[in-house]
Amino acid sequence: MATAEQSDFKIADAASYDPHVEDFGRFSAVLTTPLARRLIALANISADQRVLDVGTGTGVVALEAAKAVSEEGHCIGIDLSEKMLEGATANARRANLTERLEFKLMDAESLQFEAASFDVVVSLFALLHFPDPATALKEMFRVLKPGGTLVVAVGSPPRWLSWLGIKHAVTLLPELISRLLGRRLVAPEFLNRLVQESIPAEDESEESSLARASRNRTRSVTTLLRDAGFENLRQHWEGHQATMKTPEDFWDIQRTFSTIARKRLNGATPDQVAKIRAKFDELCQRVLSRGGRLTYPFAAFFVAARRPLQS
């Protein structure tokens, strides 16, 4: 059972997105869709299957899942943010997918579904928002049918000592040089630093313990999955980088997706926000005047797993 502190965290975390639903949907449609499609490809959904999307947000993954099923299948997306679900429902309506897709307000750590009621469970970037990810994964295990497929993804670089990790580190060298020369700003570290300098944290609970533990979450996630009972783990990493054309978009995307920036700026005074924004714009314009770039790297560590047949 969740503690009062954990319940408060979940409610506050979900509510922190409410002022940013429009920007969340706008940027997710561009940045998250390629990762959502990769996740759905790893899930290998059949047309007649029942699919659950945990932490659906504005429904980017759920929409892709709904496209993969027929009238014989069905997809449900859950989230704790009512505003996000309103956006998701509107997106499903625009895509003409409401007959095979629905959304429910629900806590991932206490799923209101019967055991073994889904063929596939998917979750993109939600695991780091749960104060008790172990319980959330056990709930996903419970509602999966024996032999069912789970695919989760979290934001993370690849394993440090893997070939992919070494290759990724090498590709970052030119970007590091650009940063040292003052010709590149990188989200979300850039805005986070400005915010942390001006607005101290009220407590340590603005991020989940899993998010705080390490920037590289590959080992933590695979351990949690095995502990929950999943088997046949298959791993995949995919990274991209977007260049923001204007300081306005660079501000909006960081304020939307960075937990630290979003929560502290939400609670800041207008004067505090104005001062941070002025410094932000000044630094952005300085970089752009040198022919530099405003970049937003985004990546996902995917794990596909199975609930054993005998479980």
CATH assignment, 4-157+206-241+298-306: 3.40.50.150
Intervals of the chain under pLDDT 70: 1-2, 157-184, 203-204, 213-216
Predicted local confidence at residue 159, as pLDDT: 55
Q: Which residue ranges make up each domain of the chain?
A: 4-157+206-241+298-306, 163-204+242-296
CA 62 to CA 100: how far, in whole Å?
A: 10
Dump the DSSP string for 163-190. HHHHHHHHHHHHHHHHHHTT-EEETTHH
Secondary structure tally for the chain: helices H, strands E: 12, 8
Helix (H) or strand (E) holding 246: none
By C-alpha distance, which of 254, 239, 266, 238 is closest to 294?
254
Cα–chain center distance at 116: 25
H or E stretch at 152: strand 144-154
CB 77 within 8 A of CB 51: no
CA distance 39 to 88: 18
Whole-number pLDDT of residue 209: 82
**pLDDT digits 0-9 by tens, 98-144:** 999 999 999 999 999 999 999 999 999 999 999 999 999 999 999 99
Helix (H, G, I), strand (E, B) or coil at 284: helix
